[in-house]
Amino acid sequence: MVQPLPCRPRRCPPASCLVFVLACCIALCRVPAVHGLPSTLRVLTGGGGGSRAFNCMPQPHRLQTSARFNNATVSLVYLRPSGAGEGCVKVLGGAASDGTATTIVIGSTFEFDGADLAAVNGSVAVLRGSSCPFSTVVDNSRFAPWRYYLNDYQTRVDAALKAGAVGVLWGEGVAGKIPESMSPFNQVVPVCTFEMAEFDALLTATGLASAAAGSSVAANTEATLMYRIEDDVIPNPPITYITVEERWKPGGPEGFTFPIPTFSATFNPPSHPGVEAPVVAADFVDECKKSNYADCTSCWARTAAGRNPFVTDLTKKIAFFAITDASEVGCYPSFNQWAIAAERAGAVATVHGTFSDINGWGVPGPYLVPFNISAPFFSLLKIHTDTVMTALAESASHPNHTLQLKTPPLVGGAGPTHFAETSKQYGPAPLLFWKSLDKHFICDAGQAHFSPSPWPGLPLPRDASGELVSALDANRVVVLSPSQACKGGSDGTSTCGACLLQQPSQQVSRAFTFIGKKTVELSLPLTGNGGLISTAFAMKTKFGNDIVAAIFVSDFDCFATYEQWVDVAVAAGAKAMILILQPGQQAGTIYGSVEVGEGKAPDAKESIPSFTVTNACGIRALLNAESIHVDIPAIGADGEVISGANAAAAGYTSVSTDSLEDTVLTVIEGPSSLCGGASKCLAGQARWNPKTYPAVHARMIAVQTIKACHSSLTCLACDAAASKPNSNGTLDKYTDFDGSPLTAESIKGAIVFMTERQMACLKPYTNALRDAQEAGALGLIIGNNANNTVTMAQSAVPFEIKIPAFNLADGVGEGFSQALKANKVVSIRLPRIESGVALTDGVFSVNDGTLVYGRGFEQLNPSPPGPSSSGLSNNDIIAIGVGNAAAVIFIVAGIAIYRWRRQRRMFTRNQTPMSTQTFVDISGGGLLGSAESERSDDLVSGRSTYRTAHAPTSSEQAKADIEMGTAKRGSGGRSMSTSTATIGTYVSSNQRGIPLFTEEEGGGSSSPGAS
């Protein structure tokens, strides 16, 4: 529950308008949002001083409460029809199927009494909507199909507004129609809409129906709140669970049971004990599957007469909506309408099986509805919709055992959490993959809250000298494939029940990897000698020590918790698990679940660590692999990865006890603005630099990678580009800053400058160093993303490093980048390295090999001597200087030693907490902000006549129409979630872990709840 805030205006920052805690979004004193309670109007009834509350649907308004409208006492004035009454405006439509002409209803004519119009000034207008059977707009898909009805509504509201009304109470003109959100635009004055029966009861209770013209009655509108989407509060916890009971299967008193995660609607009752009941498909009768407003009037009349609008009897059942097309619910386009229709038909709860994946799944709303809902409403993710639908079909062959669902108890509108409670978001973990000893890359992996802590890590084995073992036979990545039962549950050919009944060791049919570019596999589960053979022993024999299980999430769609994947990996004898996500999804922190009925602690730890990686990372590791190994860092006592050396290799900035002090690069030639106007720049060192290397005096050359190397999502294309010269002598992977091809000859003898922003696929950066070294460069300078320097390091390097690398803070590096892009000549001097550390002072000479001249200074070069003790070959050295050359003195005064706090580079997608996900339908065309109307005033009779008629034209620009549910058929619209931060990562900070999704993007779907 959101608590009331101090009574003072506050401005809502755009980035936080729809965050999980909505406290920042108020304009005036705010009444706390209450789940499932409607806006109510209270009026006095009879002469005994009693009162009665009437429920209505609040329309969008910039304020939740208004000083002129929301009061303990306001005057209600009924704008009654007068004169000739209402007329329906008809025009010729298209030809019918038999060729005869048709007419369509596009508006209405009506009159308000002059005395009522005069009296409503400063009061709240009470008026009835039209009873005309409005036609559907069909000639242009940009128009909402119910636009004529919406225009008529707005015209009547505008008429009251022009007469001076401070608010409007509007009653539906057709019996049985449930009010809805009529427009996405804020009304000028508060407007609340009623069902016809409720509106008639209001007129009767107040006596307004029979009162004299210009009469008024008193009402209390303090609780008649207006709707603002920022007031829609996500239940806390946001994700609860319902339990599926397949009673025809063995497993317990209720058969085979398992929980599936679900959202609770914001309009749910504040409290509910939970219910256990058979589930049935909620299929509307054909009469209610209409897109035409006029056709729907008979459906609504059916429900107004107390007849069931559903094909099946829902009495004491849980109604299950699995809507694949908007036409299936044409007359009931909103979630709250489904909920109340099912409840009035006898349902004890409603479950919406969405066909949305993680990007489109959200919290159904709005929280303010025109009735008291007592039966809770829940929303499922697509794969769980499939699970329930398959189980329903299967239960048909078991007539004595129906499928049942059990809903959770609700407190404050929310059920118990499905995922373990935790507020901590971990940063990425650098996993170093080795496809062979000369091919390696790093992936930013998501961490798991349920990983063991502390955990010693899984480093690649090394020999006594610290080098990697040449014949790696450990830390091999092995892919686990699903059993036939789990595969069938994932692709929809069978129910998930068969998969979930299997033991973890039975849920895998095959384990495979690549060794020497050959597929090596093991069929599972293993049986023999009359029993189950040790899978772990067989896996170790086949694949080596310390295997790491790799599992594609999409292969096990039946799994509802991360721990189920862990159980499979443990049963296969894995020492760690890597979950490979769907295409387009990004890795993030994942959370454990509170396993129903097992008494598991929310913070329970698993026996092996788990990580998530992007689909691109997983495919990158597996594609054309000679072998696949992974170096996994240790986990600290706090549960978070200790990044270690691979943190710097991945491009993270972190504090380390192994950091080296910054050194200095000296500008010899270049614009005066370099290094902030000084001649020296602070530069970060690399732990993997050569043990000994001379000072270097040479020109810089700008090198950039091709675009495929700029994003981790396109690394496969980057990997495919050759780093070594092709037949034309050019480097496929690298260009200059103008995009022109580079040759190894153009790099030879120079100091290469690159920016980290273009090196996403070259992590660890020794990949770039290797390519520069092979092209003959004398050094590598990297311009960082962050505005600080780092000590570059990694756990192992698969080749001999002969040239050094340094890095510059973002601002400093940008100066060099701009100068080189402008074709300025830039020459620098790199410091000498002794014992792996750069020397910041000393006298270096070409005589003793402590100084090397490179590109741009060839005139200083004598004939190259023999092999150098610096570690450079004759081919690497452009020149060893001349005898008696002037000594170069490096004097560094006041070098600041930076100790930077860890700055984890999180994901490229915004990590704003999950915001309110009320489903709204933004139609491609809809209601005008203020409907066109024609008004003629009869000064003699004191009446005003209105005409609401708007014939569609193909050139007209239509605006949007909100529905808290599915797009109406034929609207050409799209459903979307009104959220500042969609769930683009594997999880979000308030979503916990949702392991089930596909690559589908949100939007563009006409399915109810898709966004």
Single-letter residue type at 790: V
Average pLDDT over residues 646-659: 60
pLDDT, greater one: 884 or 315: 315
pLDDT of residue 471: 63
Over residues 190-223, the pLDDT tens digits come to 999 999 999 999 999 999 988 999 999 999 998 8
pLDDT of residue 838: 92
Q: Are strands 695-702 and 751-755 parallel, antiparallel or unpaired?
A: parallel
pLDDT, greater one: 318 or 397: 318
Q: Where are the beta strands (DSSP E) in 230-329?
A: 239-246, 256-264, 271-272, 276-281, 318-321
Q: Which of 801, 870, 868 is nearest to 832 (CA)?
A: 870
Q: Which residues have CB under 8 Å from 48's CB, separation 6+?
A: none
pLDDT, greater one: 92 or 754: 754
Average pLDDT over residues 832-845: 81
Per-residue buried b or exposed e for 632-664, using 16+ beta carbons within 10 Å of the residue's own CB? bbbbeeebbbbbbbbbbbbbbbbebeebbebbb
CA–CA dist 728, 732 (Å, integer)? 10
pLDDT of residue 316: 97
- 145 pLDDT more than 70: no
Per-residue buried b or exposed e for 383-419, using 16+ beta carbons within 10 Å of the residue's own CB? bbbbbbbbbbebbeeeeeebbbbbbbebeebbbebbb
Over residues 241-270, the pLDDT tens digits come to 999 988 887 777 888 888 888 999 999 999
Q: Which of 1006, 1001, 1002, 1000 is nearest to 974 (CA)?
A: 1006
CA–CA dist 490, 554 (Å, integer)? 7
Per-residue buried b or exposed e for 694-714, using 16+ beta carbons within 10 Å of the residue's own CB? bbbbbbbbbbbbbebbbebbb
Over residues 278-316, the pLDDT tens digits come to 999 999 999 999 888 899 999 999 999 999 999 999 999
Q: DSSP string covering 419-458, please?
A: B---------EEEEEEEETTEEEEEEEEEBTTS-SSB--B
Lowest mean pLDDT among 120-129, 546-555, 992-1001: 992-1001
Over residues 488-512, the pLDDT tens digits come to 877 767 767 778 778 899 999 999 9
Greatest mean pLDDT among 358-367, 870-879, 977-986, 1001-1010: 358-367
Over residues 776-802, the pLDDT tens digits come to 999 999 999 888 888 888 777 777 889
pLDDT of residue 398: 75
Lowest mean pLDDT among 483-487, 801-805, 970-974: 970-974
Give the single-character DSSP code of 217.
Answer: E
pTM beyond 0.85, yes or no: no
pLDDT, greater one: 5 or 109: 109
pLDDT, greater one: 905 or 841: 841
Average pLDDT over residues 65-72: 88
Cα–Cα–Cα angle for 278, 284, 285, rounded to 5 degrees: 120
Residue 819: helix, strand or coil by DSSP?
Answer: helix
CA–CA dist 471, 572 (Å, integer)? 24
pLDDT of residue 935: 37
Over residues 70-101, the pLDDT tens digits come to 889 999 999 988 877 789 998 887 666 666 77
pLDDT, greater one: 980 or 679: 679
- 923 pLDDT more than 50: no
Helix extents (H) in 268-406: 293-304, 335-344, 382-395
Computed over every residue of the chain, the mean pLDDT equals 75
Over residues 149-191, the pLDDT tens digits come to 988 999 999 999 999 999 999 999 999 999 988 877 789 999 9
Q: Which of 107, 67, 109 is nearest to 91 (CA)?
A: 107
CB 242 within 8 A of CB 408: yes
Per-residue buried b or exposed e for 90-120, using 16+ beta carbons within 10 Å of the residue's own CB? eeeeeeeeeeeeeebbbbbbbbbbbbbbebb
Average pLDDT over residues 421-442: 80
Q: How confident is residue 985, by pLDDT bands cut at 50, 70 and 90?
A: very low
- Chain center to CA of 502: 32
- 980 pLDDT more than 60: no
Average pLDDT over residues 469-481: 83
Q: DSSP string covering 691-757, please?
A: SEE-EEEEEEEE-EE-GGGSSGGGHHHHHHS-SSB-TTSEEEEEE-TTS-EEEHHHHTTSEEEEEGG
